[in-house]
A and B are shown apart, each in its own frame.
Chain A
């Protein structure tokens, strides 16, 4: 089945700097790669996603890139703000349809 590895597990940046979180996946048939943000005491919430037919997607300060050949995808947050502090999860849907497999999570801390 699908396996998703995420790095780093913790990331600390200064306000205004960029943050990059990387994930690799194992199932070459995976075709959907969402990123979720989890704030303390809440459930994960989708912030951006990318499908296998595109290599990059951007939404304001957030962008995701996908390299299908290497089976890795990354989240880029520019001009970070303290409210970006949270745990971020990457995920992939394997060839079993709706089964969403998550990475281990990255705790991002943005220091004012």
Chain B
């Protein structure tokens, strides 16, 4: 398996624009996580899914953020409208959950909002 695949790797956008980050989890993994990493706040859990169902979105900072998982092999994190303070590295991770809970991370998407 190629691991967790995120796209794009880098994204530069203007304030106010819509941004969509994409993630393909490892096949067979039941859990999918979206994290945001900044120098100030470290790794923050935004939302996670179990079997494509959102379980906890309490980390989503504002209504401008939304995430979907239409099927077991694809998830998106959308920011609309984007703001400069959204600039960060966004990671997607997947795991089997349960007794085997190692989370495998993608390479991340570095988002810069200017």
Which of A21-29, A42-50, A55-63 binds B? A42-50
Which of A10-18, A65-73, A77-85, A90-98 binds B? A90-98
Binary contact track B8-38/A, C-beta < 8 Å → 1, others 0: 0000000000000000000000010101000
Q: B103 at interface (Cβ–Cβ under 8 A)?
A: yes
**Interface size on A (CB < 8 Å)?**
22
| Chain B residues with CB under 8 A of A32 | 101
Which residues of B pack against A, CB within 8 Å?
4, 31, 33, 35, 42-43, 45, 48, 50, 55-56, 91, 93, 95, 97-98, 101-108
Which residues of A pack against B, CB within 8 Å?
32, 34, 36, 41-46, 49, 89, 93, 96-105
* CB-based contact A98/B101 at 8 Å: yes
20 residue pairs from A and B, CB less than 8 Å apart: A34-B102, A34-B103, A43-B107, A44-B43, A44-B105, A45-B105, A49-B102, A89-B43, A93-B101, A97-B98, A98-B31, A98-B55, A98-B98, A99-B45, A99-B55, A99-B56, A100-B33, A100-B101, A100-B103, A102-B43
